[in-house]
């Protein structure tokens, strides 16, 4: 999985878009937009608006994803602390399952740990 800092994302997109537009200008092509032909002088304004939109959306989206990931990691950590206290030592595959599960299943397992008499009841389908 490639990781990068969300705050650099708008810069990367703007840079790559700029490179692409430079190639178009060098080839003396004219871009076609929704409104018809876009003149080269209008290109910069369109790119500026696109870059502003990306700068506004990327941090919010990154924050939302980061909060969700943090929430899931916190639930996994709590579940992995509760399970051994309730059921004794855990098989190795349990830790891997807990770390690779979707948020809804994690929540369901966390609820089950309180009522289950056996470890397999927590993870039953």
Cα–Cα distance for residue pair 123/113, rounded to 1 Å: 9
Rounded average pLDDT over 87-104: 91
Report the pLDDT value the prediction gives residue 8, as an integer from 0 to 100. Answer: 59
Residue 83 and residue 90 in contact, taking contact as beta carbons nearer than 8 Å: yes
Using DSSP, state whether 59 is helix, strand or coil: helix
Is residue 45 assigned to a domain? yes
pTM for the complete prediction? Answer: 0.50
pLDDT tens-digit map of 8-29: 566 777 777 777 767 666 554 4
pLDDT tens-digit map of 26-67: 554 454 555 555 556 666 666 777 777 777 777 777 788 888
Neighbours of 83 (CB within 10 A): 21
Domain extent at residue 47: 6-123
Is residue 109 assigned to a domain? yes
Question: How many folded domains does the chain comprise?
Answer: 1
Is residue 1 assigned to a domain? no
- The model's confidence at residue 91, banded by pLDDT at 50, 70 and 90, is very high
Mean pLDDT, rounded, of the chain: 77
Cα–Cα distance for residue pair 59/54, rounded to 1 Å: 9
């Amino acid at each position: 999985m490639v990781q990068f800092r969300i705050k650099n994302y708008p810069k990367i997109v703007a840079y790559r878009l700029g490179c692409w537009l430079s190639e178009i200008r060098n080839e003396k092509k004219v871009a076609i937009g929704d409104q018809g032909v876009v003149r080269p002088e209008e290109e910069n304004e369109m790119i500026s608006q696109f870059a502003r939109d990306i700068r506004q959306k990327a941090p919010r989206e990154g924050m939302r994803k980061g909060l969700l990931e943090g929430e899931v990691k916190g639930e996994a950590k709590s579940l992995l602390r509760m399970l051994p206290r309730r059921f004794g030592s855990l098989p190795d595959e349990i830790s891997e399952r807990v770390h690779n599960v979707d948020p809804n299943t994690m929540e369901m397992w966390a609820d089950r740990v309180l009522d289950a008499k056996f470890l397999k009841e927590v993870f039953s389908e």
